[in-house]
């Protein structure tokens, strides 16, 4: 499908508000500084994705922008986002033809173009924003992946590179015997990829080392503008137990707790961390996001 160069000029009212902690709101007071309230939540249940989309929407206001989802799967929450923000043109790429076909069906009639296979490498678009949600741990040639992202990012653009460690953490909850069978099953399912994942290009899965990826990012000509950790394990589990009527308040609370932890309680530990990251939050929040910009020479 040929990429469209013209974008819709329709604008929408910004969907986000910022409250100060000195002001009483119906939501929550957390420490000092700004409390973010997301009027509409996207990708609910995954704090990293919800925060990234919220950050992008705050940046774009009513501007016409191109967003490139580099590893879009079956389209995630993009149908809702594009329906609410017709000023966004989405370009989605996934290596899986089946996933791309599902995404194309779900995004039919919206401002979206889907690519798969080698089709991406013939394109010359430049995106205002690139998002990569929990894809990097499945990428065999990470240098090529980063260089391709750089090729398609505007000089003043933002690349939200998110990776997840959940596949490599199978914890047995001793307080919940009824869950042991499913937890053991998950561990056994992931075991082959933990041992052999790095040998199979077609079904690749390997834990991302912070030091290695940070070095590779610099080597590819990016600079790190911001880093944050997400998805407190117990908060994510609690989310699944709540009724629909409580979810908006809960997710906003969850996002603000994680924001406070990242701003005030993030420390690098001196000793080596077996989880491949020396940050204290990484032990409890298995999702790391780097906001990247192109290094200007």
At residue 14, does pLDDT exceed 60? no
d(CA 89, CA 77): 14
What 3-state DSSP class applies to 56? helix
Per-residue pLDDT reduced to its tens digit, 76-111: 999 999 999 999 999 999 999 999 999 999 999 999
- Return the percentage of the chain with pLDDT > 90, whole number: 64
Q: Which two tokens stand for residue 49?
A: 């994705």
pLDDT for 176: 60
Radius of gyration of the chain (CA): 20
Distances (CA, A) of 88 to 105, 182, 244: 18, 40, 28
At residue 18, does pLDDT exceed 50? no
What are the residue ranges spanned by the domains of the chain?
16-165+208-294, 173-206
d(CA 189, CA 183): 10
At residue 11, does pLDDT exceed 80? no
- Given the candidates 3.40.50.150, 3.20.20.60, 3.40.50.12240, 3.10.20.30, the CATH classification of the domain at 16-165+208-294 is 3.40.50.150
pTM of the predicted protein model: 0.81
pLDDT for 40: 86
């Amino acid at each position: 499908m040929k990429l469209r160069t013209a974008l819709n000029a329709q604008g929408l009212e910004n969907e986000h508000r910022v409250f100060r902690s000195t002001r009483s709101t119906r939501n929550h007071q957390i420490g000092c500084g700004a409390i973010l309230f997301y009027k509409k939540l996207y990708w609910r249940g995954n704090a990293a994705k919800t925060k990234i989309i919220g950050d992008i929407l705050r940046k774009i206001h009513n501007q016409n922008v191109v967003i490139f989802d580099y590893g879009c799967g079956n389209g995630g929450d993009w149908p809702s986002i594009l329906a609410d923000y017709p000023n966004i043109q989405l370009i989605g790429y996934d290596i899986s033809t089946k996933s791309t076909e599902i995404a194309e069906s779900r995004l039919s009639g919206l401002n979206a173009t889907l690519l798969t296979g080698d089709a991406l490498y013939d394109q010359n678009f430049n995106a205002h924003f690139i998002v990569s949600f929990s894809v990097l741990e499945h990428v065999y040639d990470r240098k090529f992946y980063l260089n391709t992202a750089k090729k398609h990012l505007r000089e003043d653009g933002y690349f939200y590179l998110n990776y997840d460690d959940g596949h490599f953490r199978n914890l047995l909850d001793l307080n919940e015997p009824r869950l042991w069978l499913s937890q053991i099953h998950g561990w056994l399912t992931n075991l082959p990829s933990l041992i052999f994942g790095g040998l199979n290009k077609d079904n690749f899965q390997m834990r991302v080392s912070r030091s290695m990826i940070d070095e590779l990012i610099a080597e590819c000509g990016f600079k790190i503008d911001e880093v944050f950790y997400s998805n407190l394990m117990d908060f994510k589990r609690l989310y699944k137990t709540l009724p629909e009527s409580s979810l908006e308040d809960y997710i906003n609370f969850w996002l603000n707790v994680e924001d406070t932890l990242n701003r005030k309680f993030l420390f690098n530990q001196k000793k080596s961390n077996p989880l491949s990251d020396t940050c204290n939050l990484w032990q409890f929040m298995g999702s790391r996001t780097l906001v990247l910009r192109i290094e200007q020479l």
